[in-house]
Structure 1
Amino acid sequence: MSGVCGELARLGVATVYEASGKRGLIDAPLVQVVPGSKVAGPARTVLCGQDDNLMVHAAMERVQPGDVLVITMPEPAPVALVGELLAVQARARGAAAILVDAAVRDLEELWELGLPVWARWVRVRGAKKEEVGRLDEVVEVGGARISPGDIVVLDADGAVAVEAGRAGEVLEAALKREEREQGLRKRLEAGELSYDLHGLREVVEGG
């Protein structure tokens, strides 16, 4: 699976999303804390209580090398569920990345730490540690349902989730798409127009 994840990360969110049949888009505005990060890995899901990060602390015990921590609440809100010290733990446990459907804080420290992190917001308002939530269950982020073990792909364009059982199929389709686009790029560099190559002239000007 690590080889599949590495290739999906290299191919990137846009290519994987298109190759998957436009499924699994995490349609939310995300801050990419570490510029240039490209990651793919199995989801380790965390459903916290509202404005509460107790379960993020609990989840650290379960993190396996290569996991993408996917941290959610019943409703997204600009409350910091992750800061420097939780990110330090995640990196020590071997997490590949953290996706927070809420806020993070300690931005400069997170950047220096280097663990790839994506979040809806950067805010200093801290979370409670009172409400017991759930670990390793299906969660929803930006309209995408993410099951534990689904492959989450993240880069500068955002994020997409690929169902674990479709990872091989989607990778194959993404590689074929990459090959087609490489051929198309050469033709565009030679001066041809997408207006003609995609048959768009007929749509605009009529056949």
Structure 2
Amino acid sequence: MNAVHEELAAAGVATVYEAYGRRGLLDVDLQPLAAGRRAAGPARIALCGQGDNRAVHEVMAHLRPGEILVLTMPEPAPVALLGDLLATQAQARGAAGILVNAAVRDSAGLAAFDVPIWTRWRRATGATKDTRGGVDVPVTIGGTRIAPGDLLVLDDDGATAVSESDVDDLRDAVRQRLAKEEGLRARWAAGELSYDAYGLRAEDERGRS
């Protein structure tokens, strides 16, 4: 990860999503194979044929160090697009993380890989290799469009995407949000209540009068 990506990974999905105006969230149930992992980097995308992972083999030739490998299909389904052997290639190519909008198999072994992996399902169901699919094409996952090179941030809360052109401005917004949160954290730790600070108690009492 470069310095910007490392900073945004440390900030986490929730903070990046909020600082980005509550945009970019991949609104699907993505589960990390190993808890507590974080990753951020530009998207390298394989749009597979339905139930097919031929495009995953092709995308490995394009994958560069520090990128997030994104594997998806036209209709997400519990078919394993990634297993131990393909993940070994991705790790050797220097992937910063892998997002599978389908299933993985060999999941116990994958959880121990250096490269962190997020998936919709864990399933042994094998994929075919009959459809070429597409590499480095835009895809939509969980209502969010991801173009090649867009930044992805992943942690235990899931994933969020940031347009490549917005990354530098977002870093400043993330820093501002973190500073604000630190100030609020100190106030709450000292005993102040958000119920009062946000004026919610006063609103509720007016509503009862």
Same fold (TM over 0.5): yes
Structure 2 residue 4 is the aligned partner of structure 1 residue 21: no
The answer for unaligned runs of 5 or more in structure 1 is none
Corresponding residue for residue 203 of structure 1: 203
Task: Give deviations 1:73-96, integer Å, cap 9, x for gaps.
Answer: 000000000011111000000000
Give the match for residue 140 of structure 1: 140
Distance 1:134 1:79 in 2: 18
What residue number does 1:58 align with?
Answer: 58
Aligned counterparts of 2:205 and 2:169: Cα–Cα separation in 1: 38
Deviation at 1:203, TM superposition (A): 2.9
* Paired residues of 1:39 and 1:96 also in contact (CA < 8 A): yes
Identity of aligned residues (%): 55
Query: Does the 8 Å contact 1:34/1:115 carry over to 2?
Result: no
**1:33 matches 2:33:** yes
Report the 3-state secondary structure (helix = DSSP H, G, I; strand = E; otherwise coil) of the residue aligned with 1:119.
strand
Q: SS where residue 167 of structure 2 aligns?
A: helix
Runs of 4+ in structure 1 displaced over 4 angstroms?
A: none
Structure 2 match to 1:11: 11
Shift in Å at residue 181 of structure 1?
0.5
**Which residue is equivalent to 1:112?**
112
State the TM-score, normalized to the length of structure 2: 0.97
| TM-score (structure 1 length as normaliser) | 0.97
Deviation track 1:117-172 (CA, whole Å, cap 9, x = no partner) reads 00100111010010011110110111110000000000001100000000011111
CA RMSD of aligned residues (A): 1.1
Structure 1 CA distance for aligned equivalents of residues 149 and 34 of structure 2: 24
Counterpart AA for 1:121: W
Secondary structure, aligned partner of 1:112: coil
Matched, 1:96 2:103: no
Provide the secondary structure at the position in 2 that maps to 1:69: strand
How far apart, in 2, do the equivalents of 1:203 and 1:84 lie?
Answer: 56
Cα distance in 2 for partners of 1:199, 1:139 equals 42
Deviations 1:82-116 (A, max 9, x none): 01111100000000000000000101110122310
Contact 1:138 1:147 in 2 (8 A): yes
Deviation at 1:202, TM superposition (A): 2.7
Matched residues in 2 for 1:88 and 1:136: separation?
A: 21
Q: Any unmatched runs of 5+ in structure 2? A: none
